[in-house]
Amino acid sequence: MNPFAVSLKFFVFILAELTALFLGISTLVGLMLQYVSDEKLRTWLSRKGVLGNFLGAALGAITPFCSCSTIPMTVGLLRAGVPFGATMSFVLASPLLNPIILTMFLFLLGWKACVVYGAVTFVASMACGAALQGFGLASDVRNVRVSGVVHDQEKPETFRGKLREAFAGAWGDFRGVLVYLVIGVAIGAAIYGYLPGDFVVGIAGPQNPFAIPVAAVIGVPLYVRAETVIPIAVALTQKGMSLGAVIALIIGGAGMSIPEMSMLASIFKPRLVATFVSVVLVTAVLAGVVFNVI
């Protein structure tokens, strides 16, 4: 097959698969959350210590939030008295860990990559929250009011109503991410069909010790979601890029998108924002090293 046919086949297959996964998993998660009130979530997260960090990371891992909803949720948690450490664990886990991302990893990169990525990012989210709490950075939260904070809403009583609302939410989220998903798949398809494998191996192959930190730094200024970069990761790994470098790129880009950093700067002082960026960068490098070792 010629490169264009190869790229087109990759584009159609991956886009169709990711569309089905996104809508299916997002609807399922939305349906589950229909049975849990926001007040109950805040009560669970109000646990102190490691348990609070665990629950904060767990909330981020099950909620397919983007930056636009993560930040208002963060403000709501802080105002509700949720410990700062648990809230920061949620902030880090939310863009990196959710059922959609993990399912993409499972179907596109295999169960080992899915398990290792899930474990590393979950533990890193817990450690990040605990460290920021331990460093006394809770005082760097600005006393501001951010519009758009979601309060408890009346939920449908019937299963059909809950399912309808869950799918409506999934469809709205999908429409918001569709352009990024298409861009990511298109770039991945171009890489898969046209980029020489020897070129990728020479720059970011397993033998290059600087591939992981460079990939993490490159990811920092990028405006990407994990759902966008995973199709690119599939193409790069098939061309010979080390999985560790790919993971560093995913975490660096998705964990520190420019819009999210801008929104965080409205509620956090510069020192806390800079520390958070540093933590994400270190997490990206360490996760990449762990992937290559395993």
Task: Answer whether residue 65 shows pLDDT above 70.
Answer: no
Task: Answer whether residue 177 shows pLDDT above 70.
Answer: no
- Amino acid 213: pLDDT: 80
Contact between residue 88 and residue 45 where contact means Cβ atoms under 8 Å apart: no
Summarised one tens digit per residue, pLDDT across range 235-290 is 777 777 777 887 887 787 777 666 566 667 777 888 888 888 888 888 888 888 88
Task: Answer whether residue 12 shows pLDDT above 60.
Answer: yes
- Domain range list for the chain: 3-293
- How many angstroms separate the Cα of 278 from the Cα of each of 12, 122, 155, 216, 252? 37, 17, 39, 11, 10
Angle between helices 111-134 and 84-96 (to 10 degrees): 150
Task: Answer whether residue 181 shows pLDDT above 50.
Answer: yes
pLDDT band at 153 (very low <50, low <70, confident <90, very high): low
Query: Phi and psi (nearest 5°) for 211?
Result: -65, -40
Summarised one tens digit per residue, pLDDT across range 197-247 is 555 556 655 667 777 887 777 666 554 556 666 777 777 777 777 778 878
Contact between residue 200 and residue 241 where contact means Cβ atoms under 8 Å apart: yes
Whole-structure pTM value: 0.66
